[in-house]
A and B are shown apart, each in its own frame.
Chain A
Amino acid sequence: MTTIDITEQGLRYLNETLQQQSAGTNQKEWDIINPRGSHAIAVGLDAPIQVTVNGSTGYYCGGMNKQASITIKGSAGPGVAENMSSGMVVVEGDASQYAGATGRGGTLVIRGNAASRCGISMKGIDIIVAGNIGHMSAFMAQKGNLVVLGDAGEALGDSLYEARLFVRGSVKSLGADCIEKDMTEAHIKQLAELLERADMDADPAQFRRYGSARQLYHFDVDNVSAY
């Protein structure tokens, strides 16, 4: 275990040190203290290391993550795990707006609530939220899974492409071209795996699935000549 104190050693030192770790590093466990809401903590990591951030973070914690497993023992500011490719980011508190935005892979787990625009433009990331999510979540989401154990705010999945949205609670409203879809055995199996990965105890049969109706202009074969 290596401890880095952001107040003492600085954010630049923290990120440079973590970014220098390679696949074969012997220093697998990192403990970050005094985050005090700083921006861009533990961004751009690309090694199979475990990073624990002891406190709440500001903008973009865990952004562009590859391979690393990052746990935030507090709440996360806007854009947590933005554009993540692989690895895992766990937020033990709440997450602010656009959590997991544009993520291409990996897993984002939020044990509290997520604010607006959770999973906006997600491209393959899996996001599991124990609480509620805010309005305009999964806007233009292209790929991946968004699982919500609580409720979803207004305009869920507006202009959605092929991402899958699973919500256990209520949905205030669906966005343009987002509809409820059947839960097949395959979906229940996939959801059970996602819940297990996030260490969340919930019955997959209680969820509803939402996805794209594929009725927007660019999905209509009659419009193909326009391109």
Chain B
Amino acid sequence: MCGIVGLFLKDDALKPQLGEMLSAMLITMTDRGPDSAGIAIYGDETAGQTKITVQSGTPDSDFPALEKHIQDQTHLAKDKLSFTMRDTHAVIVAAETDKDHILTLIRDNHPNIRVMSQGQSIEIYKEVGLPKDVVERFALTQATGSHGIGHTRMATESAVTTLGAHPFSTGSDQCLVHNGSLSNHNMMRRKLRAEGVNIQTENDSEVAAAYLSARMSEGETLGEALTSGLNDLDGFFTFVVGTKTGFGVLRDPIACKPAVMAETDAYVAFGSEYRALVNLPDIDLARVWEPEPAEVYFWSH
């Protein structure tokens, strides 16, 4: 099964409540998949700065070592550098110009540390366990931002691990969650790797994320990339996708994976089921509908 939620705020006044609203939506979907859970939050951004979210199974030893290693790099812009630990995750904020250096440093020297996301506004937190536990471990109810997506997983395609949890991020400020299963993901993974795309897992959903990132890196908009996906990705899927400014939804032409959306003047919300939406403000006045099969939906700030 799997449960997906998404929330795109049109009313800035709701920004301080994004994490609280999205967390509640995700917890409602727990019985659609209790294996692992994750949330991507598009929070505040500062011009010229980047955020790198990392994860480790042994954070107590790995993160201080990484922080020291970064601090020891004499040429980095120290005034823009910060390192915030949250349970198994840490968010490194640094100058945009130092991003590639830090990513290379992590990749080459810290094999236990995985990069969850990188970009100006995105932060991804995901772990094995129930949504309520994941929400609590990372204090996600306190998260603020303009939009976010969440996922609770019932694993079918690959192992129940942190890296197999959603959202998947395969490009700067991009992420994807998926309910369904892709049938041509092995072929597509080989094709994308041959194009030089970095794919970390054997998970089908990561392939979909990497596919969309590859199309967007070639200049397509999210909407165009999703349209391309209808031709190139085979299988069952409901995708919810985030970028720095936008939020997209796509269902395959057969559309057997459930989806319901609600829109008011204040927000656009997505849920695998209506249950996920019932606590949103003014839901009784919202336009509620089921997204059409093979139709690209996209909202942007």
Residues of A within 8 A of B (CB): 36-38, 56-59, 75, 77-78, 94, 96-97, 115-116, 134-136
B278 at the interface (CB under 8 A from A): yes
Among residues of A, the one whose C-beta sits closest to the C-beta of B277 is A37
Interchain nearest-CB distance for B289 vs A (Å): 7
Among residues of B, the one whose C-beta sits closest to the C-beta of A78 is B258
A37 lies within 8 A of B289 (CB): no
Complex alpha-carbon distance, A64 and B98, angstroms: 62
Complex alpha-carbon distance, A78 and B274, angstroms: 11
Complex alpha-carbon distance, A77 and B271, angstroms: 12
B255 lies within 8 A of A58 (CB): no
9 residue pairs A–B, Cβ–Cβ below 8 Å: A37-B276, A59-B273, A77-B273, A77-B274, A96-B258, A96-B290, A97-B255, A116-B255, A116-B256
Interface string of B249-278 (1 = CB under 8 A from A): 000011110101000000000000111111
Among residues of A, the one whose C-beta sits closest to the C-beta of B276 is A37
**Chain B residues closer than 8 Å to A57, beta-carbon distance:** 274
A37 lies within 8 A of B256 (CB): no
B293 at the interface (CB under 8 A from A): yes
**Chain B residues closer than 8 Å to A134, beta-carbon distance:** 255, 293
B293 lies within 8 A of A96 (CB): no
Residues of B within 8 A of A (CB): 253-256, 258, 260, 273-278, 288-290, 293
Residue in A94, A115, A134 with the greatest tally of chain B CB atoms within 10 Å: A115
A116 lies within 8 A of B274 (CB): no
A37 with B255, Cβ < 8 A, contacts A75-B288, A134-B293 known:
no
Residue in B256, B258, B288, B290 with the greatest tally of chain A CB atoms within 10 Å: B290
B278 lies within 8 A of A36 (CB): yes
A115 lies within 8 A of B290 (CB): yes
**Chain A residues closer than 8 Å to B255, beta-carbon distance:** 97, 115-116, 134-135
**Chain A residues closer than 8 Å to B288, beta-carbon distance:** 56, 75
A36 lies within 8 A of B275 (CB): yes
**Chain A residues closer than 8 Å to B256, beta-carbon distance:** 97, 116
**Chain B residues closer than 8 Å to A115, beta-carbon distance:** 255, 290
Taking A38-B275, A58-B273, A58-B275 as known contacts, 12 extra A-B pairs with beta carbons closer than 8 A to each other, sorted by chain A number, are: A36-B278, A37-B274, A56-B274, A59-B273, A77-B274, A78-B258, A94-B289, A96-B258, A97-B258, A134-B255, A135-B255, A135-B293
Interchain nearest-CB distance for A95 vs B (Å): 9
A94 lies within 8 A of B273 (CB): no
Complex alpha-carbon distance, A97 and B254, angstroms: 11
Complex alpha-carbon distance, A97 and B253, angstroms: 13
B278 lies within 8 A of A96 (CB): no
Interchain nearest-CB distance for B190 vs A (Å): 32
Partner of A94, one of B276, B290, B293: B290
**Chain A residues closer than 8 Å to B275, beta-carbon distance:** 36-38, 58
Complex alpha-carbon distance, A38 and B276, angstroms: 10
Interchain nearest-CB distance for B118 vs A (Å): 36
Complex alpha-carbon distance, A38 and B31, angstroms: 12
Interchain nearest-CB distance for B211 vs A (Å): 25
Complex alpha-carbon distance, A204 and B71, angstroms: 79
B278 lies within 8 A of A116 (CB): no
Complex alpha-carbon distance, A115 and B258, angstroms: 11
Complex alpha-carbon distance, A170 and B258, angstroms: 25
Interchain nearest-CB distance for B275 vs A (Å): 4
Interchain nearest-CB distance for B271 vs A (Å): 9
B293 lies within 8 A of A37 (CB): no
**Chain A residues closer than 8 Å to B277, beta-carbon distance:** 37
**Chain A residues closer than 8 Å to B276, beta-carbon distance:** 37
Partner of B293, one of A56, A75, A77, A116: A116
Partner of B274, one of A75, A97, A136: A75
**Chain A residues closer than 8 Å to B260, beta-carbon distance:** 96
**Chain B residues closer than 8 Å to A36, beta-carbon distance:** 275, 278
Complex alpha-carbon distance, A136 and B253, angstroms: 11
Complex alpha-carbon distance, A37 and B284, angstroms: 12
B290 lies within 8 A of A37 (CB): no
Interchain nearest-CB distance for A57 vs B (Å): 8
Among residues of B, the one whose C-beta sits closest to the C-beta of A117 is B256
**Chain B residues closer than 8 Å to A135, beta-carbon distance:** 253, 255, 293
Among residues of B, the one whose C-beta sits closest to the C-beta of A153 is B293
Among residues of B, the one whose C-beta sits closest to the C-beta of A98 is B256
